[in-house]
Amino acid sequence: MTILLTGDSITDAGRDRDDLASLGSGYAALVAADLPGERVINTGISGHRVVDLQARWDVDVLAHAPDVLSIMIGINDTWRRYDNDDPTSAESYEAGYRDLLTRAQAAGIARILLVEPFLLPVRPDQWDWREDLDPKIAAVRRLAEEFGVEFVATDGPYAQAASRTGAAALAADGVHPSPEGHRFLADRWLEVFRTV
């Protein structure tokens, strides 16, 4: 079985993009370690948004004909609004994400897991990001139902865990998981993967 995980820096996690066997140091590598009998591919690219994933979908996803596809994208669609004044509307985000799923199912990918974006505010200004991110999280939840694919909840579970550990213990900047944060994400992913 080939399992392909794609998305942004959270999936990328420092992988060597010239080496398809490189999984980085994040949740993708942990998933692979916990599923030693499966072939795991990581095509996450740091900084990417939905529109970037659309542009590279054929080469970085469909060309590998995965049996299982995992998508985690969206935090940069929010972040760029606040650091570069380059917003992505919730409508554009949902339309782009719908295009990815339509193309994936048309290509015959049998099993798809949608990992919702999350935010663990560690600075007061990051609470303002919720206005932008929450509608995008809602869009991922709607799309999972619309396409009949699996959904990996992260935002609520991370918030619950952060209430015990503090947000910075899971993601020092509120976005990029620490080693503990990646383990938490991998466990949520594996829980859904193993449910079926």
Is residue 9 annotated as a catalytic residue, yes or no?
A: yes
Q: Which of 51, 8, 17, 14 is nearest to 29 (CA)?
A: 14
For the chain, what's the residue count?
196
> Which residue in the list 34, 99, 176, 187 is annotated as catalytic?
176
Tens digits of residue pLDDT in 97-148: 999 999 999 999 999 999 999 999 999 999 999 999 999 999 999 999 999 9
Tens digits of residue pLDDT in 27-76: 999 999 999 999 999 999 999 999 999 999 999 999 999 999 999 999 99
Q: In 36-154, where does DSSP find H-type helix?
A: 50-60, 75-83, 90-106, 130-147
| Alpha carbons 46 and 8: distance in angstroms, whole number | 5
Is residue 176 annotated as a catalytic residue, yes or no?
A: yes
pTM of the model: 0.97
Is residue 163 annotated as a catalytic residue, yes or no?
A: no
